[in-house]
Structure 1
Amino acid sequence: MKLLNTDIKNNVLKSMIQILDHEREHIIAANKKDLDAFNKDDQALFDRLIVNNKKVNDMIEAVKAVLSQDDPVGQELSNLTLKNQLNVVNTTAPFGTILIIYESRPDVTIEAAVLAFKANNKILLKGGKEALNSNLILEKCWHQALEDNGLSKDWIKLLHLKREETQAFLKNPPEPLDLIVPRGGERLINFVKTHATCAVLVSGRGNNFLYVSEQADWSKAVNVIVNAKTDKISGCNALDKVLINKNIPEYQLKLKMLQQKLEQHDVTILSDNSVCKVLDSSKKITEDAIWKEEFLALKLLIGEVSTLEEAIDMINTHSGKHSAAIITENTTEALHFMNHIDSAAVYHNASTRFTDGGQMGVGAELAISTDKLHHRGPLGLKQLVTNKYYVFGDGQVRV
């Protein structure tokens, strides 16, 4: 796709803001069709599927936030003049064509597209069939915004492919693909990695851990745990595992206090062998594999550890490398934990629920990357570009 002037891109976004507001009732009505057809047994997916007035407002705010940001394309990263007088300039450049595969959330159809487009990328959207009606009307809104400003609808396109067709598309794409972002669970990520023939940037599962140190403020710990677990169970930044240092003063009493608080929020508590002896009404785990599981439910696994190093080892072994937190009043201990945990985001005395583009000051996000190349954490506007070298000479040859 050709490089677009910043003003043209911003005009498309201004049109989109007006269209989303104008089409609000139709968007919500289309979403109701999806909700009525959905099996509500999967509460996390159902929560992600809902589009109401607040969600439409959030979509509009996401577009406004990207509109207000500087164009990330053509930004100078470095400028060097060598001894041979070659001028080497490194600048940001679009990826080209991005494919994002995601489940349920119609708001991704807005956030992913607005970010990709402003970064001058074409984007192919492969949403789940459960959000078909919602995604169709949102694609229609995008196409109207593009056409109103004299641009091709091809900049933003919804793919209608079944699983087998998606597999064939990934293996032999009918058009060049520069980047694929699978945004979903382990099965989706493995499917894409198996079949893709271009770069894949993984938006990984959560399975987030929190460690409560023996030097923790217990009240602070309880508040953070409850928030991280119950604020939004469908979020990839929700808490799944808590490791508690057994040397905490009044350890058994505090464990029971935590259990009582969590049960007030209808959280089902699972426990390892040691914690189960204290919380006899909790469900004892029978397989170690559960430590690697992302719950996406009102369920929390509590385990006992003896040291900070034991906690770090467990988290690095089992977590999804998304977010991890430590609760401690010892800043030296906190920094040691944060330096040695292999996760996209690490927290000291705060909820993992803040791993989010908007909450971290990035703005709208394409996904939360758990890969280390080319970026880790929220993929915002500045992260949807690659780089390109411009070399200016005057007849120089290498000798």
Structure 2
Amino acid sequence: MNMALTSQQRNAVLLSVAKLICDEKLALLKANKTDIKKYVGEDLAMYERLKVDEEKIKEMILSLKQLVADVDPVGKELYNFTHENGLKITNKTAPFGTILIIYESRPDVTVEAAGIAFKSGNKILLKGGKESVNSNLKIVDLWHKALAQNKISTEWVEYLNYSRAETQSFLQHPTQKVDLIVPRGGEKLISFVKQYATCPVIVSGRGNNFIYVDAEADLEIALKVILNAKTTKISACNAADKVLINSSLPNKEIFIKKLIENLLEFNVEILGDGALSIFENVKAFEDEAIWCEEFLDYKIVLGSVDSSAEAIEKINKYGGGHSAVIITKNEETATTFMESVDSAAVYQNASTRFTDGGQFGLGGELAISTDKLHHRGPMGLQHLVTNKWYIYGNGQIR
């Protein structure tokens, strides 16, 4: 494979992929129809992620064009120091090398995540789920055409059409050098990768997000935010699963009844703790473990807390470390909550659905990391680099 590609070469390939997706849109939609027909699972979120339509194709093309317009993340100077002996020492961003992306049912990852990894100077290995194999292979074919058109080796983007056993074997004994693995999918996928991987893994995509309705909440905002966070896209890791309501909330009963009524309009199954399961259409749950669960479904848990401190404690104990919200008019309460909750993104009076690379102005995202090392939260182009030290001397010895 060629040495490092220039910024111009990488951008040229991305533009070629965008053009090919546009030109071969019908073939891509046809390949996706085959995947959709073959999908027999009951998982609503999986199905939603699998489907490619005109809108998703527009998003794929837009994401590639945005990447081209974005600043090259490689070679950016982070630090500069001149030693007393005359050594010039700089630290600059550098590609990881080879990034393996393992994902379920989302053909757009084959475009967007691969695009981000490629623009940041990395070789890409893609391991998609069997449910989206036709869509993925079609997109990888377009990647290869784009690379060939620009006289660049097709080895820069490779698809691993592996079974689970073959994937496990590759993770344990890679047949080529892999520098970073990004699993994108449910908890089972993440724990499978973490169990067998022999190189660093960035954990992405687990939500279980909480919304806390404080005693000084604006109830209109609370309703609007909860409904948006729960119902607009249940397959998203930034959807909300738990709502904690302060027991001293004025007009609490009216608010809870209104919330239940609104959730039922969207056919959301409502579960509640001891204090809230007394309401009509709220089922009591038996197992406390439900607080840890990410639903990816039309399902929500309502709980009662006596204070902001109790809400913080509960979120830190059970939340996924992804996103958490406080609904309050009290700035001081909000500040304490936002500084104390251990999540990648913390909000006051807004929906969790904004935790997303595009929404945060990053263009797109490779992943939403809930790890604390390397990077936390939405990982965009500028975060998908490591760093390297460059030292210039003229014979210095120590």
Q: TM-score range by the shorter chain?
A: over 0.9
Q: Percent identity, aligned pairs only?
A: 54
Letter aligned with residue 42 of structure 1? D
C-alpha distance in 2, partners of 1:207/1:365?
A: 20
Aligned length: 397
Q: Which range is displaced more, 62-71 or 39-48?
A: 39-48
Partner of 2:69: 68
1:281 Cα offset (Å): 2.4
Give the 3-state SS of the residue equivalent to 1:389 in structure 2.
Answer: strand
Whether the 8 Å contact between 2:260 and 2:281 is mirrored in structure 1 is no
Deviations 1:211-258 (A, max 9, x none): 000000001000000000001000000000000001001212211111
Partner of 1:356: 356
C-alpha distance in 1, partners of 2:139/2:239?
A: 27
Does residue 369 (structure 1) correspond to residue 387 (structure 2)? The answer is: no
Partner of 2:389: 389
Does residue 257 (structure 1) correspond to residue 237 (structure 2)? The answer is: no
1:202 Cα offset (Å): 0.5
Deviations 1:96-134 (A, max 9, x none): 000011100100000111111111100101110000000
1:280 Cα offset (Å): 3.3
C-alpha distance in 1, partners of 2:22/2:254?
A: 52
Give the 3-state SS of the residue equivalent to 1:274 in structure 2.
Answer: coil
Partner of 2:36: 35
Partner of 1:220: 221
1:267 Cα offset (Å): 1.0
- TM-score calculated relative to the size of structure 1: 0.98
C-alpha distance in 1, partners of 2:228/2:158?
A: 37
Deviations 1:326-374 (A, max 9, x none): 1000111111111011111111100000001111101111111111110
Whether the 8 Å contact between 1:204 and 1:320 is mirrored in structure 2 is no
Q: 4+ residue stretches of structure 1 with deviation over 6 A?
A: none
1:169 Cα offset (Å): 0.3
Matches within 5 A, 1:139-178: 139-178=140-179
Give the 3-state SS of the residue equivalent to 1:181 in structure 2.
Answer: strand
| RMSD of equivalent CA atoms | 0.9
Whether the 8 Å contact between 1:30 and 1:133 is mirrored in structure 2 is yes
Whether the 8 Å contact between 1:269 and 1:300 is mirrored in structure 2 is yes
Give the 3-state SS of the residue equivalent to 1:61 in structure 2.
Answer: helix
Whether the 8 Å contact between 2:323 and 2:352 is mirrored in structure 1 is yes
Partner of 2:90: 89
1:17 Cα offset (Å): 1.3
Partner of 1:203: 204
Letter aligned with residue 69 of structure 2? S
Does residue 184 (structure 1) correspond to residue 160 (structure 2)? The answer is: no
1:204 Cα offset (Å): 3.6
C-alpha distance in 1, partners of 2:44/2:281?
A: 25
Whether the 8 Å contact between 1:89 and 1:390 is mirrored in structure 2 is yes
Give the 3-state SS of the residue equivalent to 1:237 in structure 2.
Answer: coil
C-alpha distance in 2, partners of 1:204/1:292?
A: 15
C-alpha distance in 2, partners of 1:334/1:70?
A: 34
Give the 3-state SS of the residue equivalent to 2:174 in structure 1.
Answer: coil
Whether the 8 Å contact between 2:13 and 2:146 is mirrored in structure 1 is yes
Partner of 2:287: 287
C-alpha distance in 2, partners of 1:372/1:123?
A: 23
Whether the 8 Å contact between 2:67 and 2:363 is mirrored in structure 1 is yes
1:40 Cα offset (Å): 5.0
Letter aligned with residue 78 of structure 2? L
Letter aligned with residue 348 of structure 2? H
Give the 3-state SS of the residue equivalent to 1:346 in structure 2.
Answer: strand
Partner of 1:309: 309
Letter aligned with residue 67 of structure 1? V
C-alpha distance in 1, partners of 2:346/2:120?
A: 28
C-alpha distance in 2, partners of 1:41/1:197?
A: 33
Letter aligned with residue 360 of structure 1? F
Give the 3-state SS of the residue equivalent to 1:219 in structure 2.
Answer: helix
Letter aligned with residue 76 of structure 1? E
- TM-score calculated relative to the size of structure 2: 0.99
1:165 Cα offset (Å): 0.8
1:140 Cα offset (Å): 0.4
Whether the 8 Å contact between 1:213 and 1:327 is mirrored in structure 2 is yes
Give the 3-state SS of the residue equivalent to 2:198 in structure 1.
Answer: coil
C-alpha distance in 1, partners of 2:348/2:124?
A: 36
Give 5+ residue unaligned stretches, structure 2. Answer: none
Give the 3-state SS of the residue equivalent to 2:375 in structure 1.
Answer: coil
Give the 3-state SS of the residue equivalent to 1:209 in structure 2.
Answer: strand
Give the 3-state SS of the residue equivalent to 2:244 in structure 1.
Answer: strand
C-alpha distance in 2, partners of 1:40/1:352?
A: 28
C-alpha distance in 2, partners of 1:44/1:189?
A: 17
C-alpha distance in 2, partners of 1:5/1:352?
A: 37
Partner of 1:53: 54
Partner of 1:333: 333
Letter aligned with residue 329 of structure 2? E
Deviations 1:261-298 (A, max 9, x none): 11111111010111112x13211110011100000011
Whether the 8 Å contact between 2:102 and 2:184 is mirrored in structure 1 is yes
Give the 3-state SS of the residue equivalent to 1:273 in structure 2.
Answer: coil
